[in-house]
Amino acid sequence: MSRHASVTGPGELVRRRILRGLERRSRYRYVQPEVFWVDEGWLIRSPCCSRNIDPDGGVIDIARLEQPEPAVWRLYARDHAAGRWVWQASAGRIEELLTLVADDTHRVFWP
């Protein structure tokens, strides 16, 4: 299976929920994020409008969402300097975590 596997069925519904949650974001509303199923989690990627991470404005990792058990979602932000994912929060509902990504007042997700 490729790194960016296509998702159908219930997985597609989760992907759409994530995209809807991202529509409420306060930063970089004019770009279109992408959501992929990757390595047992959802990867959110977006063009780097600030050019802080990619001077050419290329696509960068924004956030990762995992559901390790039915009643738990975990949210990670990308530490681009260290090249790793950093846990930010856990919640019972994915919408709670998407609110953190959408608001992002401290520029954790949308650098």
Predicted structure pTM score: 0.83
Predicted confidence band at 4 (pLDDT cuts at 50, 70, 90)?
A: very low
Instruction: Report how far residue 14's alpha carbon sits from residue 84's, in angstroms, rounded to the nearest whole number.
Output: 24
The confidence score (pLDDT) of residue 102 equals 92
The confidence score (pLDDT) of residue 49 equals 63
Spell out the long-range contacts of 87-94 with Cβ–Cβ below 8 A and sequence spacing 24 or more. Answer: 94/14, 94/17, 94/18, 94/21, 94/65, 94/67
What are the φ and ψ backbone dihedral angles of 11, each rounded to 5 degrees?
-60, -35
**At 71, which amino acid appears?**
A
55-82 per-position pLDDT tens digit: 566 788 999 999 999 899 999 999 988 9
Per-residue pLDDT for 3 more than 60?
no
The confidence score (pLDDT) of residue 52 equals 64
DSSP state of 82: T
